[in-house]
Amino acid sequence: MEHTLQALTPGTSHAWYRALYTEHRGAFVQWAARQYGVREEEARDAFQEAVIVLYRKAQGDDLASLNCSLRTYLFAVGRNQLLSRMRVLRKQEDLHEEFHGIPDEALATNGMERQEKEATAELVRQRLAELKPDDRRVLELYYLEGKDMDAVAEALGLKNRNVAKKKKHFALQRLIALVRSAKMLLL
């Protein structure tokens, strides 16, 4: 099975995508751990999202102008997924500190930056409260309580870690959308 851009069409089989995922996942996980210091699970999640993005773009025939290798494309999309998650994690860590009443003044280099961080943390906290209870709980368990996906699945009574991971992903996407829309309203 050839994994090239030319082999990719809207009708490409799921088996092709699974093989592509398996072929490049290990290299991406190692690269992500080295570059960004992320856990293996986080890197796998980001790479899985990259393959999903590739699949969706192929279904819409949005890849005609792509002039790089599939591996390069997957690594770039995976990197963007990681960076996006890292930004959210930083915001969640700020939120976590607020929940525990431990301000970290060393993070803010000046008053303006501190105010911006406080405003963002407040916005995330407000939008987190707007989520459905299940969405809010999955994010709290994973980001604030530091539970792994198996523990999250067990706490929420879900079938397995993959179901919990998917639930976390969609909850996080909803939170990000709420925060972005609120920021747009503030501008």
CA distances from 54 to 51, 85, 160, 187 (A): 5, 19, 25, 32
Cα separation, 50 vs 45, in Å, equals 9
pLDDT tens for 148-170 read: 888 999 999 999 989 999 999 99
Structure confidence by residue, pLDDT tens digits, 97-111: 555 544 455 444 555
- Write down the pTM of the prediction: 0.49
Q: What percent of the chain has pLDDT over 70?
A: 79
* Two structure tokens written together for 45: 């999640």
Q: What is the dihedral of CA 171, 172, 175, 176, to 10 degrees?
A: -150
DSSP letter at 107?
Answer: G
The tokens describing 122, both together, are: 């407040």
